[in-house]
Amino acid sequence: MLILIWLRGLLVRRTGRLAAAAAGIALAVALPAALGAFLATAKATMTARSIQRVAVDWQVEQQPGQSVSVPMPGTSKQVSFARIGGFESRQAGQTLTTGAGQVLGLPAGYAATFPGELRLLAGNANGPLLAQQTAANLHAQPGASVTVRRPGLPDATVTVTGVVELLAADSLFQRVGAPPGAQPQAPPDNVLLLPESDWRRMFDGIARDRVRTQFHVRIDHRLPPDPAAAYTAVTGQARNLEERMAGSGLVGDNLGAALDAAREDALYSQVLFLFLGAPAVVLAALLAGLVTRTGAPRRMAEQALLRTRGASRGTLVRLALAETALVGVAGVLAGLGLAALAGRALFGSANVSWWAAALGLLVAAVTVLPPTLHATTVAAARRPVGGPRRSPAWLRYGLDLWLLAGSAVVFWITSKNGYQLVLVPEGLPQLSVDYWAFAGPALLWTGAGLLIWRLTRTMPITWAVRPLAGGLAGTVSAMLTRQRAPLARTATLAALAVAFAVSTSVFDTTYRQQAQVDAELTNGADVTVSQAAATQGQLAAVPGVARVEPLQHRFAYVGSDLQDLYGIRPSTVRLHDAYVSGGTAREILDRLARQPDALLVSQETVNDFQLHLGDQVRLRTENGRTVPFHYAGVITEFPTAPRDSFLVANASYLARTMPADTMYLISTDGAQPRQVAAALRGRLGPTAKVTDVQTTRQVVGSSLTAVDLAGLTTIELGYALALAAMATGLLLALGFAERRRTYALARVLGATPRQLGSFVWAEVALVGVAAAVLGALCGWALSRMLVAVLSGVFDPPPDALAVPWAYLAVLAILGVAALLAAGTATVRAARRPPLTVLRDL
């Protein structure tokens, strides 16, 4: 009965304080619960996207001299391959020929079974089909006759009915069973697709070493939603099939390879959860603890009064447990409700991680229970009188400085060796995370928090409050000096909340920016056009096109290494500073422009051939012609170029010495790149190759960056705003509420409301300035370290941090509003008749 009476009294008389403590618990529960829902949804999305990206799940290749008699799982189609000497076409009185190529025999219904393998560009798919590049090489359209040069057999002629794009050419022409280093560098340019009956009639007599047979398989896609579990299931099925075939066939596991990449993305999502979620949970727990601590003096007085009236220590312990349970359960339910609403709005699912409820109860037990247990003796309620209070041990021994020094050392060591958060141990199918890389940011966050506490405890208060307090500066300073410890706690938590908001927003904005840069680097621009018989002016006239940059491309040998060679106009091309080494992009391009035969070389080529600036580099064409260049600088990335070895030269010099094909990098005027790409395809015809950055981002970007990061960002940034507002306004308001007795006594002694206002606004100003300045500095340092530690996510690394000024402005406005609200409410409460306030207390 006493417990119920006690709880009822708390709900009636301490409603605001209980609600504030429960709000802290709710914040500690809501974020991990919502992020748990995010992770589950993101993993399921990654698995689904990986499956969608794969055109053919398995390519089971029959080994020479063997016959596969084991039935294929799922749906399968037999595909035949033949290597031929080349193709020939006569168009407008001109004979065009190609080099060696491949002819595939496709069974009926292949395109419907594997829709991601082929895309019809022109004509119909009822007969012989030419690949887009082959059609461009032969200038062939549907209805054209193409001669096939069959080794050991007479030439054969077919009439083309359609032109298709091979969407998954890399996997289609892979060497099944070969290690990654032995795979073809590029799929064949010359490909003809025939109906199965036509292929057999044409190639039945060809040499066996020129043909091969594959079974293309689509397996059951009812897989676990977690990419790692799905990967294990798929690879296990593939190995089981290979075991049953007993050497007669090998499985090219395309789906397993896609899921392998997805499970790495899933692990990165867990990294983001740890990096960006854990500090927020700690701050919410600290907030709940400080809310409870601000009411400790009154609680100790009330419980001491119960002790004097006969309540046993056990009774007070039960009352403390009841209060903790009330706050904990209320906070957990509120947090789970918020997480469910966020999950429904952002992810379409209200499922939350229920383990967060246990975390909330643990936070309540750690933050709410100890202060209430501490007040179970009369001695604990006695206020200490006189004598200086000793500083905490960590402050005396400089723990904050040691932590910051440790953070700098760890960051220097790990960044010097290069970060690799996601590890793939040799021979093991399981990925792991190098959590040691987290030590630097963790030490920085902890050390910065303690340093802020040190600074706010030791700041010269008299000097700081003089502009607001005027002649009462000494009195106000004396009062604030006595309240130095709670003032420092409030300012520290507010500064850490600001730092969390700044670092999270900067990191998320930089992440989104670099995901777009990565896609643009791969695609070249918003839209890229190649193999098109069009001029720059014709492309610029298409609706939605804002800028067209021509780019020459061909291949050339450096020694025996065949590399991509690009010709650019240095005065008009746009490059990021991260694309070059040894100077800014403008400096490197100016160097290229000043010397006609200058050549920019990738770092790998510089290392492989031991080049020095100014060295002559002799490039050789495929027909043996040699052209001299001079090595003028290093280029690390280039639009459309491969990641390892490539070369960049002046377009004018390249046009005179080594004529190349021209491609165009197109920037849109704000129109959707997909729409502009569709308009260009309609204008240029089926032989032109048109790609857009939106489609490319879905292909090259991780599932996390392409789909789910927006929801994660919304949750974290909204949480940061709420946390910053509560840490500034709520803690101040509760601290002011505890000092109502002081303000009432000051009124009795003759203090005017204006004088009391100077006490309040001086404290508001100190907390606000400390939170803004120290929090911004800490947030900036954390942002730099977070981006550096997660450098594996960014490719290429950013030139500079992306700062979300609009969000930071909202953060500043909300923080100022919370401070003003707390100060205004306190000043208004201080104007109440002092005897009424003292009687209520």
Taking the C-alpha atoms of residue 841 and residue 836, their distance in angstroms, rounded to an integer, is 9
Look at 262-266, 387-391, 726-730 and tell me which has the smallest mean pLDDT: 387-391
pLDDT in tens, 166-176: 888 888 888 88
Per-residue pLDDT, 58: 92
Over residues 687-702, the mean pLDDT reads 71
- The tokens for 573 are 């091309």
Residue 62 and residue 369 in contact, taking contact as beta carbons nearer than 8 Å: no
pTM equals 0.71
Q: What is the number of other CB atoms lying within 10 angstroms of the CB of residue 120?
A: 14
Query: Does residue 468 surpass a pLDDT of 60?
Result: no
Instruction: Look up residue 303 and give its amino acid.
Output: Q
pLDDT in tens, 796-837: 667 778 888 888 888 888 888 888 887 787 777 666 666 565
Query: Does residue 267 surpass a pLDDT of 60?
Result: yes
Look at 53-67, 231-245, 575-589, 748-762 and tell me which has the smallest mean pLDDT: 748-762
- pLDDT band (50, 70, 90) for residue 387: very low
What is the DSSP code (8-state) at residue 181? G
pLDDT in tens, 200-223: 989 887 888 888 999 999 999 999
Over residues 675-699, the mean pLDDT reads 79
Per-residue pLDDT, 226: 87
- pLDDT band (50, 70, 90) for residue 192: very high
Write the DSSP assignment of 537-583 as a string of letters: HHHHTSTTEEEEEEEEEEEEEETTEEEEEEEE-TTT----GGGEESS
Residue 566 and residue 647 in contact, taking contact as beta carbons nearer than 8 Å: yes
Over residues 214-237, the mean pLDDT reads 91
Greater model confidence, 602 or 364: 602
Per-residue pLDDT, 426: 43
Query: Does residue 96 surpass a pLDDT of 60?
Result: yes
pLDDT in tens, 336-366: 888 888 777 777 666 676 777 887 888 777 7
Q: Which residues have CB under 8 Å from 718's CB, separation 6+?
A: 342
Query: Does residue 425 surpass a pLDDT of 60?
Result: no
- pLDDT band (50, 70, 90) for residue 179: confident
Look at 161-165, 185-189, 585-589 and tell me which has the smallest mean pLDDT: 185-189
Per-residue pLDDT, 434: 63
Per-residue pLDDT, 463: 57
Taking the C-alpha atoms of residue 671 and residue 15, their distance in angstroms, rounded to an integer, is 54
**Closest residue by Cα to residue 705 from 436, 507, 500:** 507
Over residues 422-451, the mean pLDDT reads 69
Per-residue pLDDT, 417: 59
- The tokens for 827 are 């000043």
Greater model confidence, 313 or 384: 313
Residue-wise burial string across 733-745, b where 16 or more C-beta atoms lie within 10 A, e elsewhere: bbbbbbbbebbbe
Greater model confidence, 84 or 67: 84
Where is 619: in which H helix or E strand?
A: strand 616-620
Phi, psi of 83 (to 5 degrees): -90, 130
Query: Strand 129-131 vs strand 86-91: parallel, antiparallel, or unpaired?
Result: unpaired
Integer CA distances (angstroms), 379 to 300, 303, 304, 306, 372, in order? 9, 11, 8, 13, 14
Residue 652 and residue 665 in contact, taking contact as beta carbons nearer than 8 Å: no
Per-residue pLDDT, 530: 83
Query: Does residue 542 surpass a pLDDT of 80?
Result: yes
Query: Residue 310: which region, alpha, beta or left (left: phi > 0; alpha: psi -120 to 50)?
Result: left
Over residues 138-150, the mean pLDDT reads 88
Q: What is the number of other CB atoms lying within 10 angstroms of the CB of residue 199?
A: 23
On the CB side of 462, how many CA atoms lie within 13 Å of its CA? Answer: 4
**Closest residue by Cα to residue 155 from 214, 107, 206:** 206
- pLDDT band (50, 70, 90) for residue 512: confident
Look at 135-139, 143-147, 412-416 and tell me which has the smallest mean pLDDT: 412-416
- The tokens for 396 are 């005396």
Q: Which residues have CB under 8 Å from 253's CB, separation 6+?
A: 57, 58, 234, 235, 238
Query: Does residue 268 surpass a pLDDT of 80?
Result: no
What is the DSSP code (8-state) at residue 392? P
Per-residue pLDDT, 176: 86
Q: Which residues have CB under 8 Å from 306's CB, separation 6+?
A: 315, 316, 319
pLDDT in tens, 296-345: 666 666 666 676 776 777 777 777 788 788 888 888 888 888 888 877 77
Mean pLDDT of the chain: 79
Instruction: Look up residue 727 and give its amino acid.
Output: A
Per-residue pLDDT, 418: 58
Taking the C-alpha atoms of residue 455 and residue 451, their distance in angstroms, rounded to an integer, is 6
Q: How much of the chain exceeds pLDDT 90, in percent?
A: 11
Per-residue pLDDT, 353: 67
Query: Does residue 377 surpass a pLDDT of 70?
Result: no
